[in-house]
C-alpha cells in the first residue's frame, strides 16, 4: 500500500479507501448517483458493501486541520460531518461512520492532539447519552496525525430500519446490486498522482516494509520520513 501524505480531503479519502481495500473490503469512493442517473446530495464519500451480511456502510470523510491564524484546530468540520451522515440513511445505507483525521499540527503544538481527543470523546459521550439511544446507527473513528490506522471512538449498535420506507429499500437494493455511479475515474487519477509524485532521494532508498516515523523529516522536509530519521527507530 502506497504511503499517502494527507494534504486535503481527497488524499485522506484515498488513504481510507486503500486501508479498507487492504483489509479485503469491497469499497467504492465518491458515490454520486443511486441508481445510475439519479443524482444524490450530498455524495457518499466512501461506500462499503458486505454481501455476506447484506449490509451497506457509508463513511463521511472530514479533516480537522490546524489553523495558524487561530492557533487551534476548528471543530466546524466535525459538526458539518454529523449533519451529513444523517443524510446517508435516505440513500439505503445501514450504518455510517464519521471518519476524522487530525492533521497539520506543528511539532511545538502537539499537546493539541490530546486536547482534541478529549473534546471528541466528550462529543461522543453526549451523542450516546442524548441522541444515539434513538438513532444508534452512527459511528465515529479518528486518524491521528500521520498514523496509518484509526481508533474507533464510537461504534454503531444497530442498523437503520430501511424496510420502513420503500424508496430507501429500493436504493439499498441498487447498492447491493452495484447499480450506482461512483468515482472510478477519480480513483485512477488520484492513484496515479500519488504513485508519480516526486520523492526526495532519501525516501527512494527506503525498503517497502520500513517503519515510518511520526514526526516530519528534519533533513528533507518530506512528511513520510527518511533514512536518517528512521535510524532513530530501527
Q: Per residue in 176-203, pLDDT tens?
A: 999 999 999 999 999 888 777 665 555 5
Residues 210 and 181 in one domain: no
Residue 78 resides in a domain: yes
The tally of CA atoms less than 13 A away on the side-chain side of residue 56 is: 25
Domain span holding position 219:
200-230
CB–CB of 137/156 below 8 Å?
A: yes
Residues 132 and 214 in one domain: no
Q: Compute how many other C-beta atoms are within 10 angstroms of the C-beta atom of residue 102.
A: 22
Residues 224 and 120 in one domain: no
Residues 38 and 119 in one domain: yes
Residue 126 resides in a domain: yes
DSSP 136: T
Distance CA 131, CA 182 (A): 31
Residues 145 and 90 in one domain: yes
Per-residue pLDDT, averaged over 4-9, amounts to 82
- 131-188 confidence digits (pLDDT tens): 766 678 999 999 987 777 899 988 999 999 988 789 999 999 999 999 999 999 999 9
Residue 41 resides in a domain: yes
Residue 13 resides in a domain: yes
Residues 90 and 139 in one domain: yes
Residues 112 and 209 in one domain: no
CB–CB of 105/80 below 8 Å?
A: no
Question: How many separate domains does the chain show?
Answer: 2
Distance CA 157, CA 168 (A): 20
Q: What is the pTM of this model?
A: 0.81
E-strand stretches of the chain: 26-33, 39-50, 55-65, 95-103, 138-143, 151-154
Residues 158 and 220 in one domain: no
Residues 63 and 35 in one domain: yes
Residues 163 and 133 in one domain: yes
Amino acid at each position: 500500500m502506497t504511503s499517502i501524505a494527507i494534504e486535503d480531503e481527497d488524499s485522506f479519502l484515498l488513504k481510507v479507501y486503500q486501508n479498507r481495500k487492504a483489509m479485503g473490503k469491497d469499497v467504492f469512493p465518491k458515490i454520486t448517483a443511486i441508481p445510475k442517473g439519479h443524482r444524490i446530495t450530498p455524495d457518499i464519500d466512501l461506500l462499503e458493501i458486505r454481501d455476506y451480511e447484506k449490509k451497506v456502510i457509508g463513511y463521511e470523510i472530514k479533516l480537522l486541520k490546524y489553523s495558524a491564524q487561530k492557533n487551534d484546530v476548528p471543530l466546524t468540520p466535525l459538526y458539518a460531518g454529523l449533519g451529513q451522515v444523517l443524510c446517508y440513511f435516505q440513500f439505503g445505507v445501514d450504518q455510517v461512520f464519521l471518519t476524522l483525521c487530525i492533521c497539520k499540527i506543528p511539532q511545538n503544538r502537539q499537546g493539541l492532539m490530546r486536547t482534541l481527543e478529549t473534546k471528541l470523546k466528550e462529543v461522543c459521550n453526549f451523542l450516546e447519552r442524548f441522541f444515539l439511544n434513538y438513532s444508534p446507527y452512527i459511528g465515529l473513528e479518528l486518524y491521528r496525525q500521520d498514523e496509518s490506522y484509526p481508533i474507533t471512538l464510537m461504534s454503531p449498535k444497530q442498523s437503520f430500519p430501511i424496510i420502513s420506507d420503500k424508496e430507501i429499500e429500493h436504493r439499498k437494493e441498487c447498492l447491493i446490486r452495484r447499480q450506482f455511479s461512483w468515482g472510478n475515474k477519480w480513483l485512477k487519477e488520484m492513484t496515479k498522482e500519488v504513485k508519480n509524485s516526486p520523492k526526495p532521494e532519501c525516501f527512494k532508498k527506503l525498503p517497502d516494509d520500513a517503519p515510518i516515523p511520526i514526526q516530519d523529516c528534519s533533513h528533507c522536509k518530506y512528511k513520510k520520513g527518511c533514512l536518517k530519521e528512521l535510524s532513530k527507530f530501527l
